[in-house]
Amino acid sequence: MRIAVLSGKGGTGKTTVSASLALSLGNYQYVDSDVEEPNGGIFLNPKITDILPVNVKVPAVDENKCTGCGICSKTCQFNAIAVIKGMVLLFSEICHHCGACIIACPEVALYEIEKTIGVIEKNEDATFMQGKLNIGEPISIPIIQKLKDEMNPHIPIIIDCPPGASCNVVESIEGCDYCILVTEPTPFGLHDLKIAVKLVEKMGIPFGVVINKSSKDSKIIHKFCDKNKIDILLEIPFSRDIAEAYSKGRLPVHENAEWKEKFRAMYEKIKRGVNK
């Protein structure tokens, strides 16, 4: 069972929900795919023992073979190559690693070299994994793919996704059995929830909603979910106690066993949702 936690809007509580669910289940693999700033480790305190580099292939040029014809530059759909005065200029941070330039070069003057763009980190039994993209690297997908390759299909997997609804979220949720959409009762929360709903519907993944920082304003989320027949899995109240504990790296499930029960009940609901 692979569950992804996403939100559209940032700061709604993806990590709170992911880490709380993990701690409530006991047996789990927690995967932080928010590789630009993974933070689930703050709550789960894993001891990292394995660090694996993530490499991509970028072009390099053999200047003895290159005639400066410029076909590689015209072939590149990502504007990552310029050919000036017969010299190839490669901009590897723009490169999308498609390899088209290598195929197109009539002189076989281009070849691929490995470039490290980040790492994945694991604890000893790999119940915790996170990706880390190097600063300045714009493309996170290869790191998320590597995390997916390393997933353990024998235990429940909880994927803490990046914010938004673009490529890195698509890659994170692709292949999941269920998506938890975390929202907050604000116009921004609702706006981005709608985008996230469109995404998971398009990808055909069963989903439900968690309302975090829930208050009397939650009626805007209820109204939307009722209208669209979307399950609300859980509501976490807007509470000073929760916020204070959070600021010390503690979650409601750490403080109160009742919350573990609530998250376990949510997991049961999700299992039923998957089989719908």
Partner 1 sequence: MKICISSTGSSMDSTLDPRFGRAVYFIIADTETMEYESIENTAALSGGGAGVTSGQLMADKGVSAVITGSVGPNAMNVLKAAEIDVYRGLPTTVKENIAKFKEGSLEKIDSPGPSHSGMGGQR
**Residues making contact with partner 1 (CB under 8 A):** 73, 78-85, 87, 89, 91, 94, 138
Question: Could you tell me where the beta strands, DSSP code E, fall in the chain?
Answer: 2-6, 29-32, 48-61, 81-84, 87-90, 110-123, 128-133, 157-160, 178-183, 207-214, 232-237
Residue 91 or 111 with smaller CB distance to partner 1: 91
Q: Could you tell me how many helices (H) and strands (E) the chain has, helices first?
A: 11, 11
User: Whole-number minimum distance, CB 8 to partner 1, in Å?
Assistant: 18
User: Whole-number minimum distance, CB 89 to partner 1, in Å?
Assistant: 6
User: Whole-number minimum distance, CB 91 to partner 1, in Å?
Assistant: 6
User: Whole-number minimum distance, CB 240 to partner 1, in Å?
Assistant: 35
Tokens of 117: 């763009």
- Residues 19 and 251: their CA atoms lie apart, in Å, by 8
Three-class SS state of 89: strand
Q: Which amino acid is at 185?
A: P
Residue 141 or 147 with smaller CB distance to partner 1: 141
- Do 236 and 209 meet the contact criterion of CB atoms below 8 Å apart? no
User: Whole-number minimum distance, CB 83 to partner 1, in Å?
Assistant: 7
- Do 143 and 117 meet the contact criterion of CB atoms below 8 Å apart? yes
Residue in 220, 210, 169 with CA at minimum distance from that of residue 190: 220
- Do 118 and 129 meet the contact criterion of CB atoms below 8 Å apart? no
- Residues 193 and 218: their CA atoms lie apart, in Å, by 13
Residue 94 or 220 with smaller CB distance to partner 1: 94
Residue 10 or 138 with smaller CB distance to partner 1: 138
Residue 92 or 215 with smaller CB distance to partner 1: 92
User: Whole-number minimum distance, CB 87 to partner 1, in Å?
Assistant: 6
Residue 68 or 206 with smaller CB distance to partner 1: 68
Instruction: Please tell me what DSSP assigns to residue 29.
Output: E
